[in-house]
Chains A and B, each alone.
Chain A
């Protein structure tokens, strides 16, 4: 099957979108954990961001990699934390996370301590993940029962009733 068709099917599947969002969040947690470590050690955000990205690049999913890659400043070729955070604030693929980038940008621009902000993002994302995992585990037995009833009961009924119906019909002939 052509690649674009596979992509189309994947986009149509709501489950696929859900998994993608979870993987995106998982990557973001790892990224911010490492970033917090750099910031704690006293490195500047631009350097920390670029170094963390370089290290974790291979482990991130495609979408997150594109989002976090960052853009070079227009005047210099150096990595610009402000531009990247601005882009993420306006165009992050998962809309509710844009707020976090906005907060980080504001902290960065006002020259405030970033470590605690980044750690708060990690904590919040972790809690969100935990909640979702709990909900997933809670709802799974119900979902499994529904699937069992929808897909496995009809074949059972088919094997029970079809021979009987056929036998009755043959009596009438």
Chain B
């Protein structure tokens, strides 16, 4: 039981430590000197950035694991237990980070397209409007697009630049609109009517996306609490009535009960995940 508790405890400790380490790294990357260093050396970008975060979080987790092991058991050897969890923890964290980045980009795109429509309606060309907006707005979408528009100044076509931006950012909803924008630009079609169609659709999609996300978050919070309740009850039983707990602990049926409870809960989490999806 002690070993099981230790395993569960180390798992949660690894997850929490991982999140803390990752957040610290993100904060660090926002420090100007660090950003300048990255820009000057151009070594930590894209996949390299990912590996930097991966290695740093692994290192922090190893140190954290050893520290926890030493604090809890007085021995360092148990610090090796969280090692196999590193790839999953890091993968989960990087996926979450990527999801947050995409979400920020998508939500800031609406203001950008509104500005773009305004400029185009006032008679500007698409490329000039894009340049003006990316240089004046400080939203994640315009900052990201601004990086790709440097290629336009170096002689690349605007549609190729938008296409590159679309492929690299991998935004599912905005990506589709950008494809249509590219098409309109290539064919010489008017962009303003397209934007007039796009903006209300995008507004609606973002409104419902936000609504669904908040509902999903609520569902996940409820599921986490509901997941923990049986185990808290088991813990409470062991804490308040140790004699009863000791008497039933050795019976095989209790392992069966624990397994059934766990299977039910895992199934429940899966079903919850599926029913909260819209597409």
Q: Which residues of A contact B (CB under 8 A)?
A: 15, 19, 22-23, 26, 29-30, 33-34, 36-38, 40-41, 51-52, 55-56, 59, 122, 126, 130, 133, 136-137, 140-141, 143-144, 147-148, 150-152, 154-156, 158-160, 162-163, 166-167, 170
Question: In whole Å, how far is A165's beta carbon from the nearest beta carbon of chain B?
Answer: 10
Query: Please, which residue of chain B has its CB at the minimum distance from the CB of A13?
Result: B274
Looking across the interface, which residue of chain B has its beta carbon closest to that of A126?
B201
CB distance from B173 to the nearest CB of A (A): 9
Q: Is the interface of A mostly helix, strand, loop or mixed?
A: helix
Are A147 and B244 within 8 A (Cβ)? no
Q: How far is the CA of A26 from the CA of B275 in the complex (A)?
A: 19
User: Which residues on B sit within 8 Å (CB–CB) of A155?
Assistant: 230, 260-262, 264-265
With the chains together, A150 CA to B26 CA distance in Å?
Answer: 40
Q: Which of A41, A51, A151 gathers most chain B CB within 10 Å?
A: A151
Flag whether B103 is at the interface (Cβ < 8 A).
Answer: no
- Selected contact of A143 from candidates B212, B231, B253, B275, CB within 8 Å: B275
Distance between A153 CB and nearest chain B CB, rounded to angstroms = 8
Q: Is the CB of A166 within 8 A of B212?
A: no
For window 195-223 of B, CB contacts with A under 8 Å fall at 197-198, 201, 204, 208, 211-212, 215, 218-219, 222-223
Contact of A159 among B230, B272, B279 (CB under 8 A): B230
Decide if B233 is an interface residue (CB 8 Å cutoff): yes
A158 adjacent to B194 (CB under 8 Å): no
Q: In the complex, which residues 165-216 of chain B have their Cβ closer than 8 Å to any Cβ of chain A?
A: 175-176, 179-180, 182-184, 187, 189-190, 193-194, 197-198, 201, 204, 208, 211-212, 215
Q: List residues of chain A with CB within 8 A of the CB of B137.
A: none
A125 to chain B, nearest CB (A): 11
**A166–B251 CB distance below 8 A:** yes
On whether the beta carbons of A137 and B212 are closer than 8 Å, the reply is yes
The answer to whether A144 and B233 have CB atoms under 8 Å apart is: no
Once bound together, how far apart are the Cα atoms of A55 and B209, in whole Å? 26
Q: Which of B226, B272, B278 has the most chain A CB atoms closer than 10 A to its own CB?
A: B278
Taken together as a complex, chains A and B put the C-alpha atoms of A122 and B201 apart, in Å, by: 11
Contact partners of A55 in chain B: CB under 8 A: 179-180, 182-183
Contact of B247 (CB < 8 Å), options: A36, A130, A170: A170
What 6 new A-B contacts, CB under 8 Å, besides A37-B184, A148-B272?
A151-B265, A151-B271, A152-B226, A155-B262, A155-B264, A163-B248
